[in-house]
Every structure is written in C-alpha cells, then in structure tokens.
Structure 1
C-alpha cells in the first residue's frame, strides 16, 4: 500500500469512526478484564471475562470476537450476548479485542485471534480444553471462522458460532445483493473500503485466512451455527459455506436466516419487534449449540 493511499484510507477510517461512535459509548459490564500476552513484545490483548454462575473447574470456554468492519473500535458491543451465554450455560466467555485496519491490516487481527486461542489452550487448569468454542459477529465472525478452519486443527473447537460474517472479500461488494430486496444492506462503497483497509494489495483475497469461503469444508468443527440476515448482502456467502459443510457426514450444522433483519440488526433491536424476536432466537440458538 503506497503511503498516499494509506493516508487516504486512514482519513476515511477516522471519519467513519467519528460518525459511528458520535455520542455513543459502548457500555460493557464484564466480571473482569484480562490482559493476554501478545506475540509482539510489550503488547497485550484486552479481553472481557464473563463467568457462569455455576462454573465447573476447569470450565468450558467460548472465545468471542466483536464486529468492526475490520476498522471500527466496537469491543464490548457483544456484552449482552456474552452475558447471556455465561448466564445460561457453564461456559466462561472471553470477549477479545483485536487490532484494527488500516493502521494494522491483515494479518494483524488474525494474529491476535491466534494468540488469544493459544493462550486459552495453555490454561488446562482454568479451561476444559475438550469444550473450547469460538464465535464472532460480522468481521469477528470472519476471524473466528478463519481461525477454526485454517489456523487450528479441526478438533480444537467443539463449536463454531458465526453471526452475519463476511466470508468472501475477493468478490466486489457491488456484485452482491441481499436475499430480501427491501433490505438495507451496507452500501457497497463502505464495504469496499472495509475490505481494502483490511487486505493489503500484496495478498490474494482468495486466501482462506482472508476469505474463509475458500476454506476446505473438511477443516471445520463438527458443530457450526451460522446466522444471517435477509437484508444483508453477506447472507449468500455465509449460507453457501454452511451448505457445503452440511454435506459432510456426522456434522451438526445449523444455518438460520433472520427475515426482516439487516446486517448487525441485533445491536439496535428493540424488544417485541421483528428484530428483537430474531435477536432472542439467534442468541438462544447459540446457547443450544453450545449445550450440544
């Protein structure tokens, strides 16, 4: 990436961050905050910890990664989901922050994901390593799926949960359309900026670490939940991947499209609305998958 292009994208990222976070403060209430050692000297990963009321020792663990478009500072936005999982299961939940583009393009965020998972795998006294699950929303879903299908052996994760993940960063966003024409998808220019900020020109976007839709189906865990939104241009690629994995014997694959919902609908859903009911259903499906 040339310096001028970087500056241009950096300015756009700063503007978008200002618009998205203007007047808003993410309110998260974890039980504790953990600093996980990074592979980079002098740097740590911030993680929110949500502990179950009836925890076993060692406890099963869910490692979650927030949505961001790869560039928005939204760590803590999955607080409600993380709390529900810890309340309704025996899982300890780690909600992990990762580096953002364009300041830290690929593979920085994925390296952070790998470091967080490796830290968990080195804690057998704290966590039941036969019940490690991974989840993510939007860009965090991309990272979770890449970790589960490329970075680690298939048996590492008991379950994989992904909510409206972008899985094909090779295809131009303008060529994608939502299942529901009445939906309000992310504008293609904005999606294009997200992708360009995250993926340096030196990388092939068909790399399955970047676009997990190109990962081999055999590499995925046995239990996979994919939740999409009918008004989201990312629905098709996520549903197609779930269908490929489901063809393999012995897999427990659940793919649910939420009607009347757009990308990241759960973050602004009001109780009693179509979106609110879909949010309740999606989170309940996640709990059910973890309990299998």
Structure 2
C-alpha cells in the first residue's frame, strides 16, 4: 500500500490465476495485441488450463493465433474480429478456418471500421454506433446484426453497428506500476479501444516500474487504473513484445503445423500434443518458460 496526497492506494498486482478467476463460462472476453505481437499469452494459457467454456472472444482488429489457440482448446464458442492469422506465416488461422467451415463456432462477420465502431459504442454506453462503411455491400446480409437504416438528418442509408460489450479484457503491455497505470511500446490504439469497451481490464506486463517513474512522464501512460496487473516477463511468447523480443517464428510454425494437421487431416493428434506440452502440462508461466528454454528466449531478445 502507498499513500499519495493523503490517500491510501492498494497494489493491483495479481497472478494469472487471479485474473482468470474474473471469467465465468459464457462471458465475453477481449484479447489485445496485433497479429504476431503483444498478446497476453501467459493469461491465455492460464485461461485454457482453467477449463472455461462457451466464451465469446473479441480479438484485436487484426487478431493473431492466440484466438486460434483458444478455438483449438475448446474455449471459444463465438469470435468477434475482422481477421485471425499470422501475417507471413499463416494467411488464416487453421483452427479458426476449420471451426468456421464446420460451424463449430459462431463467427461475427465485420470489417475493421465496424469493429472499432462497435467498441466505441460500448465505450460510450450506447446500443449502437452509426457508420457509413459497408453500405451497399453484402455485409449486412452476411451479418444481420449490422442494421441498415435511414439517417434522420440527411436521409441517407447508414449502418447501425451494435455495441461490442466486453465483460473482461486481457492485454499485454511494456510496463506498469503496481497501481495499474500502464505504458505500451509502440501504438496502443487497439488495446486502448478494447479496454474502453470492457467492464474490467487485466494486463500482463514485461516490467513493474516505480509509480514515481510513471508520474514523471504521465503522457506515456496509455491506460490508467486497470483492474489487475500480472508480472509476466516474456508473457507474450511466442509472439513479440515491442522493445523486448521478436516473435518466435520457429515456435509459431510448430503450432501452425499442428493446427494444419487438424484442419486438413481431421486429426487432433498434433494439436493435442501441442496443448499437452505447452499449455496444459506447465503448472504456470515460469514452468512454460522452462520448457521453451533460456537460450531460445534470449536469442529472441531485442538488444
């Protein structure tokens, strides 16, 4: 506990298990990041180990294989994101593709403009956000939740994008103080939008830094006062954390090969072996890092 200007502040440091405890079956969760970067993977793996089911998962505007993994593990029942893939490694996530083709999950079809309009509506606590993009296309036919109506001011057609309401979101950040004031390296636009649309926000962070350091440069704070902070060095692995380490392409390809086998051969042997070794087998994040190995992890480090 710390005291600032006479007011007591309580630490918001929690474990991955504490963060995941905020999620109940059937909830809507958000997962931050961008394709092969900045996903809260230590929390994602804990979420899978927890056995949560029937979740609606809101990915990033360009989501990565963290969503694919949640589908392969049976966690996701519905996915809301314009894209799931691995940029240069896999055009479309194999588990996502299989689940969509077999109707194993519900896919909320939308483009990036609608995605941000839906998040903005949730952040503003309104039922929908009007948007022009997509008028005249087949998107409202593919996704009937996108409603075309006449603008009462100009009389022109617009689309009502329903609010994307998120119960709990999970992000990965560069650093945070113990009181939930976080900083990103690089752009934080998507993560900030997801957090604003969510009731609660938990972040995993590469470093915990003193509150004085945060207060010395307040313009660097991207989100303040999050619900909980998980200290998780290499917490985005196998994806990158800007300013810390590159994506582990070797590991990502290993996952893709396992998921591709499920897609093309209808065999879960490879994906189940991956889940057993890297997700269900490790007791916690540190155990996972032991399985990756220090040599491999530091080989990825950005010097």
- Coarse TM-score class (shorter-chain normalised): under 0.3
Give the TM-score taking structure 1 as reference length.
0.28
TM-score, length of structure 2 as denominator length:
0.27
Q: Larger radius of gyration, structure 1 or 2? A: 2
- Greater relative CO (CA pairs within 8 A, separation 6+): 2
